[in-house]
DNA sequence: CTGCTTTTGACAATCATTATCATTATGCGT
DNA sequence: ACGCATAATGATAATGATTGTCAAAAGCAG
C-alpha cells in the first residue's frame, strides 16, 4: 500500500460512524448504511473500520460476547469509556490516575512497551431509574 | 441445573488450568489435556471453563484477536493482570487506585452497577531483552 | 484520456464457540 | 450394594463473526 485513495465508501463509513452514538459492530454499521440506501459491501465496512481504528479516528473494544465494536472518537487524545450496558450511552473519560498507575505497575515489574485496556460498564442514570421502577428485585443482569 | 455433580473431567480441567502459567484458550487447554492422555471432549472443556469462571475460580479475558482466555486465579480476590504479549507471562496485580477511580467516575456520571475491565499488556523483562538484541529497529510488532 | 495500481464486493473459507442429542455416569434414596 | 432420575459428556452439526479470494470497477498521476 503505497498511496491511500479516496473513496466514497470510506467517507460513508466515517459519516455513519459519526452519526452513531455509542459503539457499533461492523455488521450493525453495515445494516445501517444499507437501510439508508447505500449499496456498500460488508467487507468494505470491515476494512474501513479497521483503517479508521489504526489511523486513530475510531476507538474499538471487544463486546462482552467477543465481537469488535467501534466508535468515532475525538482523534489524537488517549481516553477511555464509560458505557451503559443497557442503552449503549457512552461517555469519554480521561483517566490520568489510571495512566500513571499503568505505567508504574508495568515498570515495577520490568515490563516495557506497556499498553492497557480500561473500560467501565454500568447503567446510566436513566436506565438505572427505569430498572428501579420495573422491578426492585433486579436479578442477574447478564 | 438443580444439583451439581462431580466428574473427573471437571477436576482434570481445574488441574490442567492450575498447571498452566498465563492465560490459555479453551482449545489450547483441550490440546494439552489430550496430549497428556486424557480423552476429554472439547465441548466439556468449554463448559468446565465457563463454570470455573462464573464460580470465581478462574479469570477470563478476551485476547486481542477476540478469543476467550482463562487462567486459574487466587479465588475471592478482585485483581487484574499484567501480561506479556510475547511469552504470556502473567502477574496478578492489585489496582486500588483504579478501583476507587472507576467507582467515582461512574458515580459522577450517574451510573450504577459499575463494573470494569482493566488489563495491562507489555513485554516482560526477558522478552524485552531478547527483542532489543535481535533487532534494534523493531518494526510493527503486530 | 491512458495506464497502472488500489479498492471494492460477492462469495467462499476459517475458526472459535454453541447447540443437538443419544449415550454414559453420578448421587441419592432404598 | 442396587436402581433410578437426571445431570454431564462428547461426537458432530450448526452458527456466526471475521477474513481471504479474485475478477471487475474506480482513483489518480502524467
Ligand atoms: Zn442507559
Ligand atoms: Zn489509558
Ligand atoms: Zn515475555
Ligand atoms: Zn478492578
Is residue A43 domain-shared with residue A58, that is, in the same domain?
A: yes
Residues of B at the A interface, defined by Cβ within 8 angstroms? 62, 66-68, 82, 84, 91, 93, 95, 97-98, 101-102, 105-106, 109-125, 128, 141
Give the residue-averaged pLDDT of A1-26.
Answer: 92
Chain C: bases < 7 Å from a protein Cβ: 5-11, 16-20, 25-28
B120 within 8 A of B82, measured Cβ to Cβ:
yes
Helices first, then strands: H and E counts in chain B? 5, 6
Element (H, E) at A90: strand A90-93
The answer to whether residues B31 and B98 belong to one domain is no
Nearest-CA distance A6 → chain B (Å): 25
Tell me the CA–centroid distance for residue A90 and ligand 2, in Å. Answer: 16
Contact yes or no for B111/A83 (Cβ under 8 A): no
Q: Please report which ligand is nearest the Cα atom of A99.
A: 2
A73 is in an annotated binding site: no
Residue-number span of the structural domain to which A126 is assigned:
78-142
* One domain, residues B66 and B86: no
Give the CATH number of the domain where residue A112 resides: 3.30.1490.190
pLDDT tens for each residue of A94-119: 999 999 999 999 999 999 999 999 99
Q: How many domains does chain A have?
A: 2
Predicted local distance difference test score (pLDDT) of residue B138: 44
Q: Are residues B64 and B102 in the same domain?
A: no
* pLDDT, average across residues A67-91: 90
Domain boundary among A54, A77, A100: A77
Å from B61 to nearest chain A CA?
10
Assign residue B22 a region (left: φ > 0; alpha: ψ between -120 and 50; beta: otherwise). left
Provide the mean pLDDT of chain A.
90
Report in angstroms the alpha-carbon separations of A13 from A57, A67, B138: 12, 18, 32
- Provide φ and ψ at B88, rounded to 5°: 85, -5
CA of B47 to C1' of D16 (A): 19
pLDDT at B142: 37
Residue A142: pLDDT band with limits 50, 70, 90? very low
Sign of the alpha-carbon torsion through B32, B36, B42, B43: negative
Same-domain pairing of B69 and B86: no
- Regarding whether B82 and B66 lie in a shared domain, the answer is no
In a shared domain, residues B7 and B73: yes
**What pLDDT, on a 0 to 100 scale, did the predictor assign at position A28?**
96
Is residue B142's beta carbon less than 7 angstroms from any atom in nucleic acid strand D? no
Q: What is the mean pLDDT of each run of 10 residues along chain B (142 residues)?
A: 88 96 94 96 97 93 90 90 89 93 96 92 93 60 39
Q: What is the CATH number of the domain that holds A22?
A: 1.10.10.10
Identify whether residues A9 and A72 lie together within a single domain: yes
Angle at B68 between CA B63 and CA B70, to 5 degrees: 100
Q: How far apart are CA B8 and CA A139, in angstroms?
A: 32
Residue B68 shares a structural domain with residue B6? yes
A47 burial (CB, 10 Å; 0-12 / 13-18 / 19+) is middle
- Find cell 485496556 and name the residue: A117
CA B15 – CA A4 distance, rounded (Å): 51
Element of type H or E holding A117: strand A112-123
What's the confidence (pLDDT) of residue B17?
96
| B16-B30-B49 Cα angle (round to 5) | 65
Model confidence at A1, pLDDT cuts 50, 70, 90, reads: low
A6 plus A68 within the same structural domain: yes
**A116 DSSP β-pair partners:** B120
Ligand 1 centroid vs A126 CA: distance in angstroms? 6
Which of B39, B58, B77 is at the close of a domain?
Answer: B77
| Pair (B58, B109) in one structural domain | no
For residue B68, give every residue at least 6 positions away whose Cβ sits within 8 Å of its Cβ, in sequence order, or none: A66, B25, B26, B49, B60, B61, B62
Which nucleotides of strand D lie within 7 A of protein CB? 6-12, 17-21, 26-29
Looking at the fold, whether B67 and B85 belong to one and the same domain comes out as: no
- Residues A4-16 have a mean pLDDT of 95
Max avg pLDDT among A71-75, A84-88, B82-86, B108-112: B108-112
Ligand having the closest approach to the CA of B88? 3
CB A119 within 8 A of CB A129: no
> Does the nearest atom of strand C lie within 7 Å of A47's Cβ?
yes
The contacts found for A39-46 with CB under 8 angstroms, 24 or more apart, are A40/A9, A40/A12, A40/A13, A41/A9, A44/A9, A44/A13, A45/A13
Is pLDDT above 60 for A136? Answer: no
Quote the pLDDT of residue B1: 56
Please name the helix (run of DSSP H) or strand (run of DSSP E) that holds residue B8, with its range, or none. Answer: helix B8-18
Amino acid at each position: 500500500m503505497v498511496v491511500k485513495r479516496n473513496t466514497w465508501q470510506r467517507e460513508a463509513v466515517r459519516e455513519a460512524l459519526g452519526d452513531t452514538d455509542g459503539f457499533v459492530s461492523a455488521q450493525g454499521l453495515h445494516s445501517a448504511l444499507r437501510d439508508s440506501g447505500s449499496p456498500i459491501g460488508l467487507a468494505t465496512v470491515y476494512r474501513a473500520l479497521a483503517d479508521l481504528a489504526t489511523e486513530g479516528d475510531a476507538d474499538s473494544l471487544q463486546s462482552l460476547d467477543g465481537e469488535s465494536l467501534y466508535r468515532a472518537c475525538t482523534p489524537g487524545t488517549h481516553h477511555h469509556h464509560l458505557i451503559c450496558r443497557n442503552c449503549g450511552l457512552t461517555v469519554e473519560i480521561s483517566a490520568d490516575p489510571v495512566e500513571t498507575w499503568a505505567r508504574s505497575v508495568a515498570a515495577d515489574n520490568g515490563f516495557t512497551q506497556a499498553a492497557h485496556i480500561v473500560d467501565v460498564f454500568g447503567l446510566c442514570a436513566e436506565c438505572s431509574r427505569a430498572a428501579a421502577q420495573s422491578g426492585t428485585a433486579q436479578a442477574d443482569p447478564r
